[in-house]
Amino acid sequence: MRRLLPFALLGLLTVGVAAGAALGQVESPGLPASVWVTNVLATTAAAGTAHVRFSSVTSSPDPSQRSSFVGSGVVDFTNGDNRVIQVNHQVGSESVDGGPTRLLQQTWTEESVAIGQTIYRNSELILSGHKVAAPWVKSTFPRDVHQAFGLDAGTGAEDAVAGLAGIESVADVQNLGAGTVDGVPSTRYLITNKPLEVCVHGQAVSLPLIAPTTVWVDSQGRLLQTRVATHNASNQVPASVRSLLGGTLPPTTSSTTTTTLTFSDFGAPVHVVAPITSGPKQPKPTAIALKSKSSNGSCGG
């Protein structure tokens, strides 16, 4: 399962295509792209609260690369607090007493509660019919509680809102026409982001970190659904990425990951409280930032 910043790093190796985008439907909503997105986020957050559900499916010719998860929960837009639970399915491998390796289906549930800068998590592994539970663990997550509706902390929903989280500036918004979400009429839009410009060995390198995002917006201007499809072509890594990483990368297998996030029940009462923890407190995570830096003036800035 990916997290928001690791997703951005993963995007270095992928070319994203938004699911359902139709060629020829390129009408702009009429506002500067960044302003339009900001307005949608603000209008959605003004609802106060919402129920949320999300899913992500990774398909690949290589069975060991396939995975899926589905989750649901609630979010308080006012303070960025949320509570979600998800069920994960992934293919692993095992070898008994040095014998041949065999693929093994792994299933586990993961629950998280985010309150301010504090994140609580617990999980339960289901392996060969046996459940192995873990206690709640408390950790500190340095985050902007309003970034990506607060869903960038400890949930599997963050990939679907990465393009709205400010990691990269919004480049364009295109109107894809009418759609529906759970029977509610909406309008679909395609959001693309500007690539990150990084200076590598004195040369400017353009890195597209985030795949295009398809969003469904209701008649009140609220975000009903967002979807991102990320495609990783087998052993086809852009030259700019190879340059950044020194030209040596492990072989990759083609895969496609589609992540969908849906909001509903806007304004409904939600209850997010801290659970009782019994496990050790995790250390504060280290923030990772990608910055552009000039070399001998070659990259400018």
CB under 8 Å to 117, separation ≥6 — which residues?
A: 140, 141, 142, 143, 145
What's the pLDDT at 151?
A: 84
Which position has the higher pLDDT, 239 or 294? 239
Judged by average pLDDT, the poorest of 80-84, 158-162, 255-259 is 158-162
Q: Whole-angstrom Cα distance, residue 206 to residue 232? A: 18
pLDDT in tens, 162-208: 888 877 889 999 999 999 999 999 999 999 998 877 776 677 777 77
Alpha-carbon 32 to chain mean position: 24
Strand partners, 103: 93
Output the CA torsion 260→231→67→111 (10° steps).
-40
Confidence of residue 295 (pLDDT cuts 50, 70, 90): very low
Which pTM was predicted? 0.77
Q: How confident is the model at residue 12 (pLDDT cuts 50, 70, 90)?
A: very low
Confidence of residue 17 (pLDDT cuts 50, 70, 90): very low
On the question of pLDDT at 293 being above 60, the answer is no
What is the structure's pLDDT at 10? 39
Q: What is the pLDDT of residues 55-76, one digit of tens each?
A: 999 998 888 888 898 999 999 9
Res 11: pLDDT: 39
Average pLDDT over residues 90-118: 78
Confidence tier at 106 by pLDDT (50, 70, 90) = confident
Q: Which of 5-14, 83-92, 231-240, 273-282 has the highest mean pLDDT?
A: 83-92
In which band, very low, low, confident or very high, does the pLDDT at 236 lie, cut at 50, 70 and 90?
A: low
CB 75 within 8 A of CB 262: no
Mean pLDDT of the chain: 78
User: Helices marked H in the chain — which ranges?
Assistant: 4-10, 33-45, 158-161, 239-244
Predicted confidence band of residue 276 (pLDDT cuts 50, 70, 90): confident
